[in-house]
């Protein structure tokens, strides 16, 4: 007799809470208290505090690799306790729960079938909702109810006026010039820019200048090994990262520290030859 496959009950967490406090663990406790069969996956709790765009990038990097009906909870919420509303997003066969502050904007850019609901059904919240911890009191219990099979329509009505962040792509400033930004600094100090490899496929074959902070980057390599052999220790170069974006790296050093740059730093690209 065939055994029926168990439904996926996966929830991911992306926050700026860090691991030194109880916040992330408390959210997990709420989820497990409602749905003990949940599988909880930490994407990260180390988002730079209050950096919504960074969280949007990280969620967009992770969600394509999860199975259908996964629930992704994002909590980078400097507006907690204000009139900003909680939202439930449906896209790519998955759910996204968090504040209506643009944290799921990069998912929206990628997914044409993107539906947003304002979460208004307070019966699915914890009994006492604080003004400072909606991750525990609203987002975690809503995520757990979704995992338990509560239909998304029960949480609230569809809305069109959800908050959108500016497009994550660079702005064109000249025929051969663009201005972008640093989306993320990873653990190794690599500066992940918003210049997507698919948008600039010929860049490895072109002469270019990319200014990040006070540093002008003119070298591109195909691998870190090539950077070490060709340019030497500490050299700064551009590389196509696994995220699909161009990254500014320093050979066996932190580019972020070497250049004095972080999330949100401006990045200017000029192509010198076609």
Residues 47 and 147 in one domain: yes
Residues 223 and 105 in one domain: no
Which residue from 222, 218, 215, 203 is spatially nearest to 267, judged by alpha carbons? 215
Residues 108 and 17 in one domain: yes
Q: Which of 159, 181, 203 is the last residue of a domain?
A: 159
Residues 20 and 108 in one domain: yes
Task: Categorize the per-residue pLDDT at 119 as very low, low, confident or very high, splitting at 50, 70 and 90.
Answer: very high
User: CB-side exposure of 54: number of CA atoms within 13 Å?
Assistant: 24
Look up the CATH number of the domain holding residue 48: 3.40.50.10790
Residues 114 and 198 in one domain: no
Residues 137 and 179 in one domain: no
Task: Categorize the per-residue pLDDT at 120 as very low, low, confident or very high, splitting at 50, 70 and 90.
Answer: very high
Calculate the average pLDDT of the chain. 92
d(CA 220, CA 226): 10
Angle at 45 between CA 26 and CA 37, to 5 degrees: 50
Residue 37 lies in a domain: yes
Task: Categorize the per-residue pLDDT at 6 as very low, low, confident or very high, splitting at 50, 70 and 90.
Answer: low
d(CA 65, CA 161): 28
Give the per-residue pLDDT at 274.
Answer: 67
Answer whether residue 71 shows pLDDT above 90.
yes
> Which residues span the domain enclosing 216?
171-271
Residues 120 and 193 in one domain: no
If DSSP codes are grouped into helix, strand and coil, which group holds residue 158? strand
Residues 121 and 52 in one domain: yes
Please give the structure tokens belonging to residue 177.
Answer: 């010039």
Give the per-residue pLDDT at 1.
Answer: 45
Q: Tell me the pLDDT tens digit for each residue of 9-32.
A: 999 999 999 999 999 999 999 999
Residues 145 and 260 in one domain: no
Residues 94 and 175 in one domain: no
Q: Tell me the pLDDT tens digit for each residue of 155-197.
A: 999 999 888 777 788 999 999 999 999 999 999 999 999 999 9
Q: Which of 134, 159, 184 is the last residue of a domain?
A: 159
Residues 50 and 117 in one domain: yes
Which residue from 268, 243, 103 is spatially nearest to 185, judged by alpha carbons? 243
Q: Which of 110, 134, 159 is the last residue of a domain?
A: 159
Higher pLDDT, 167 or 124: 124
Q: Tell me the pLDDT tens digit for each residue of 171-180.
A: 999 999 999 9
Residues 90 and 217 in one domain: no
What is the arrangement of strands in the sheet containing 114-118, beginning at the earlier edge strand?
Answer: 39-44, 10-15, 71-75, 94-99, 86-91, 114-118, 158-159
């Amino acid at each position: 007799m065939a055994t029926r496959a168990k439904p996926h009950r996966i929830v991911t967490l992306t926050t700026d809470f860090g691991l030194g406090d109880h916040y992330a663990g408390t959210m997990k406790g709420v989820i497990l208290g409602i749905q003990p069969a949940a599988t909880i996956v930490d994407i990260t709790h180390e988002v730079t505090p209050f950096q919504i765009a960074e969280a949007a990038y990280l969620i967009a990097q992770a969600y394509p690799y999860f199975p259908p009906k996964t629930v992704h909870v994002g909590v980078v919420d400097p507006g907690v306790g204000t009139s900003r509303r909680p939202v439930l997003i449906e896209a790519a066969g998955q759910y996204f729960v968090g504040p209506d502050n643009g944290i799921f904007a990069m998912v929206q850019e990628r997914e044409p079938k993107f539906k947003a609901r304002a979460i208004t059904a307070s019966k699915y919240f914890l009994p006492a909702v604080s003004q400072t911890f909606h991750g525990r009191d609203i987002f975690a219990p809503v995520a757990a109810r979704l995992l338990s099979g509560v239909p998304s329509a029960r949480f609230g009505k569809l809305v069109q006026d959800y908050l959108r962040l500016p497009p994550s792509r660079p702005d064109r400033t000249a025929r051969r010039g663009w201005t972008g930004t640093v989306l993320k600094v990873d653990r190794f100090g690599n500066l992940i820019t918003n210049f997507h490899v698919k948008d600039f496929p010929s860049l490895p074959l072109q002469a270019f200048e990319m200014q990040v902070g006070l540093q002008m980057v003119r070298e591109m390599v195909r691998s870190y090994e090539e950077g070490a052999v060709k340019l030497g220790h500490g050299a700064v170069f551009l590389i196509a990262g696994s995220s699909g974006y161009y990254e500014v790296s320093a050979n066996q050093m932190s580019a972020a520290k070497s250049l004095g740059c972080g999330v949100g730093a401006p990045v200017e690209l000029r192509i010198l030859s076609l």
